[in-house]
Chains A and B, each alone.
Chain A
Amino acid sequence: MFLLVVGSGRVGSSVATSALRAGHTVSVLDEDPLSHERLDVELGRSWEDAGGRFTIGTALELDALTEAGIEEADVFIASTNGDNTNLVVAQLAHRRFDVPKVIARVLDPRRAAWYAEQGLHTICPTQIAIEQLEKAALEIG
């Protein structure tokens, strides 16, 4: 499979490196050239030597998305540190580029839920934290 990961922070870089280790083709897009280092460190060797792709650019630039290979992507992951960027770029991937599987990380639980109702695959770390905290707290209580 070909995965395109937009936003190479803690979450994006981890998903990217494990996908690469699992033998998938992985392309990463991030506006910060330094985020490339995170990939090298997590992988324990050079990202490119291991077969990974890396493009510097902003998520909403069509040229950057194309250069990163969005037209060939089977899976698109929006994992920048901004909910709004993730929601917009995920909709572009879905509606403009017809990527078969599009996943957006959205920290705001209410919007994650509403966009999920509209058919967008959202993952909300905040909601997961809320549920686990509630569960842990009640178990102790």
Chain B
Amino acid sequence: MYVIIAGAGKVGWNLARELLERGDEVTVIEQDRRRYLTVEQELEHAVQYGDATELWVLERAGIQRADLVVAVTGDDEDNLLICQVAKEKYLCERIIARCNNPRNLTHFKLLGIQPAVSATDLILRLIEHEVPSYGLVHLLDLPEERLEIIELGVGHGCEAAGRRIGDLNLPQGALVISVLRDGSGFVPGADSVVEAGDEVLVVLDPGLEDVITRLFVANGTGA
């Protein structure tokens, strides 16, 4: 696989290292001269000096034959535009963009730059995961496929506690796929009873979170 990586910061450099080790062909593009010289000591010809938002720099790196373009500079506008031209001008099939400011994720989405990865957003989610009082944790979002998986703590005194899953009247488009209790999990059937203190994994269509949360979380607060 031929991969072009824009940005030789910590993310770009380490990514290049791992991919080269796997046997992939890699070109990293770095626009800071000093950083380029540092990285070039190790990566040698696999790193090129230039501004990856310029078309001739991308062409020099061979973007026409790239299987994957990864834009991981520290600048969201740059990452967005690099991926946009890779996808729409050079018809590169796969792109991955880094989003530094999670507020910009909406711009990536609007311009069709997916997937956009935000480390800040990932860490925020992990923080949510560590703090169950938030009640609901998004484990997986597949916006293109219109599916998501969430984790919920079952609150004491909530509507679902003590009832069979079959009796919960879950809305169409929602399914409880796993129940975690006392440190181990099982795949529930219609007869399985949900208990307060359980954690449940639910796969659902986007937009159903509110209905599901009302069932499993007491008084709209966390478990």
Query: What residues of chain A have their CB less than 8 Å away from a CB belonging to chain B?
Result: 60-62, 82-85, 87-88, 91-92, 95-96, 108, 110-111, 114, 118
Given known A-B contacts A82-B77, A84-B77, A114 and B89 have beta carbons under 8 A apart: yes
A95 and B110 within 8 A (CB): yes
B89 and A60 within 8 A (CB): no
A61 and B81 within 8 A (CB): no
B198 on the interface (CB 8 Å rule)? no
B54 on the interface (CB 8 Å rule)? yes
List chain A residues, Cβ under 8 A from B104. 60
B84 to chain A, nearest CB (A): 8
List chain A residues, Cβ under 8 A from B54. 108, 110-111
B55 and A111 within 8 A (CB): yes
List chain B residues, Cβ under 8 A from A95. 110-111
B38 on the interface (CB 8 Å rule)? no
List chain A residues, Cβ under 8 A from B56. 110
B53 on the interface (CB 8 Å rule)? yes
- Inter-chain CA distance A83–B76, complex, in Å, is 13
Given known A-B contacts A60-B76, A60-B77, A114-B89, A84 and B53 have beta carbons under 8 A apart: yes
A83 and chain B: residue at smallest CB distance: B53
A118 and B88 within 8 A (CB): yes
Tell which of B55, B80, B88, B89 touches A88, judged by Cβ atoms closer than 8 Å.
Answer: B80
Tell which of A61, A82, A92, A110 touches B55, judged by Cβ atoms closer than 8 Å.
Answer: A110
- Inter-chain CA distance A110–B81, complex, in Å, is 14
B85 and A88 within 8 A (CB): no
- Inter-chain CA distance A78–B76, complex, in Å, is 17
B77 and A85 within 8 A (CB): yes
Q: When each residue 78-98 of chain B gets 1 if its CB lies under 8 Å from chain A and 0 otherwise, what string results?
A: 101100010011000000000
- Inter-chain CA distance A85–B78, complex, in Å, is 8
B63 to chain A, nearest CB (A): 13
**Contacting residues of chain B (52-66) with chain A, CB-CB under 8 angstroms:** 53-56
